[in-house]
Amino acid sequence: MNIVVINGSPNKERSATLALTKAFLRGMNETAKFIHTADLQINPCRACYACWMATGGHCVQEDDAISVLEMIRAADLVIWSMPVYCYSAPAQCKALMDRTLCFNKPQMYIGKDGRAHHYGYEDGTKKTVLITSGGLPDITGNFDGLVFQLKHMFGSDTATICCAEGALLMQEDTAEIVKPYLDAVECAGTEYKAGGHILPKTQAILDTPFIPREDYIRNVNSLFEKMKRC
């Protein structure tokens, strides 16, 4: 299977989110091509609409996004792997997301959801998974914007893994706490490959934070106090 992973974390290989993505791929028993957006020169979309009106769906800008867009176009599955920054995508990754405008067409239709859509990837023709993590202890209210974006851009059947309390993934003494979650992510990969979706029982585990909110907040606040004293 031709799988492309868009790693939107500025931490690149040290990304906690990428650790989740690699667990998902282990469950799929697949390899992937990894794109680190932090290494690339990706210009913002200029809204020139040349891709819609003149070039048959190809962006006219000359930067690193062009080759990535072609890799996405050819992929069987695209995994967007990124931390949530200010309730959305990191800036460099968001620029690439905006540039996928070229995958759609100017013509519109009314979908089954009653909303207007552009023909193209909005109808879910490209298999897409979002894997994201954040430092706050709640899923609701923190990942909503990013999930909304991906599901509206690439299809309502986009599978999502939203990992709250992501700071625990980066601590050396939390291996026992995070292992059941990583096992569930691996299981999600197996399920997704088999049926194209994550089963509800596994999704429920993925939607549950590692530890109670109050304990997590104390842990993180204590960690930052130690960092300030160093």
Taking residues 70-77, what's their average pLDDT?
A: 97
Interatomic CA distance for residues 104 and 90, integer angstroms:
23
Model pLDDT, residue 225: 82
Instruction: Name residue 81's amino acid.
Output: S
The residue written with tokens 């204590």 in the block is: 222
pTM, two decimals, is 0.95
Q: How many Cβ atoms from other residues are within 10 Å of residue 77's Cβ? A: 20
Token pair, residue 107, equals 């013509």
Give the model confidence (pLDDT) of 189-208 as tens digits.
999 999 999 999 999 999 99
Number of domains composing the chain? 1
Beta bridge partners of 34: 5
Give the model confidence (pLDDT) of 21-42 as tens digits.
999 999 999 999 999 999 999 9
- How high does pLDDT run on average in the chain? 95
Give the model confidence (pLDDT) of 113-167 as tens digits.
898 999 999 888 899 999 999 999 999 999 999 999 999 999 999 999 999 999 9
Looking at the chain, the whole-number percentage of residues with pLDDT higher than 70 is: 100
| Phi, psi torsion values for 100, nearest 5 degrees | -70, 5
Query: 44 or 172: whose pLDDT is higher?
Result: 44
Residue 114 DSSP symbol: S
Give the model confidence (pLDDT) of 176-187 as tens digits.
999 999 999 999
Range of the domain at 153: 3-229
Is the pLDDT reported for residue 230 higher than 70? no
Model pLDDT, residue 104: 95
Is the pLDDT reported for residue 170 higher than 90? no
The CATH number assigned to the domain holding 16 equals 3.40.50.360
Instruction: Using DSSP bridges, classify how beta strands 108-110 and 116-118 pair: parallel, antiparallel or unpaired.
Output: antiparallel
